[in-house]
Amino acid sequence: MQSKNLLINSDNLDAMKALHLKNCQVDLVYIDPPYNTGKQMGKYSDSFPSHADWSNFMRPRLQECYLLMKDGATIFISISHHELSRLMSLCEEIFQEENFISLITWQCKYTIA
């Protein structure tokens, strides 16, 4: 089967649902969800009223990712420490704990000791 390249300009949840309805499947997912830092990022507010609200925002998106992924597919997720523990819990619930491979930590700020 020939691979197709497709660009969709949409809310990611709506786009994933549409792809799922068309029986599309992917080998790789990379997502960069809101970090819930409480900061204003230009026109975008990176703030949720609570951690539960953030989790409720993320759960359906991760579930749709799971449905779109082929067997053996890989997902990479960028996140900060603000929601890391909740993201890990959601991923264990949706993708199963035994499928976790690794956590990569990037030090983005340097200090002088």
Pick from 110, 108, 58: nearest CA to 87? 58
Averages of pLDDT over runs of 10 residues in the chain (113 residues) are 67 89 90 91 89 96 95 93 95 94 82 65
* Residue carrying structure tokens 């830092």: 37
| Spatial separation of the C-alpha atoms in residues 18 and 12, rounded to whole Å | 10
Distance of CA 49 to the CA centre of its chain: 19
Task: Report the pLDDT value the prediction gives residue 48, as an integer from 0 to 100.
Answer: 94
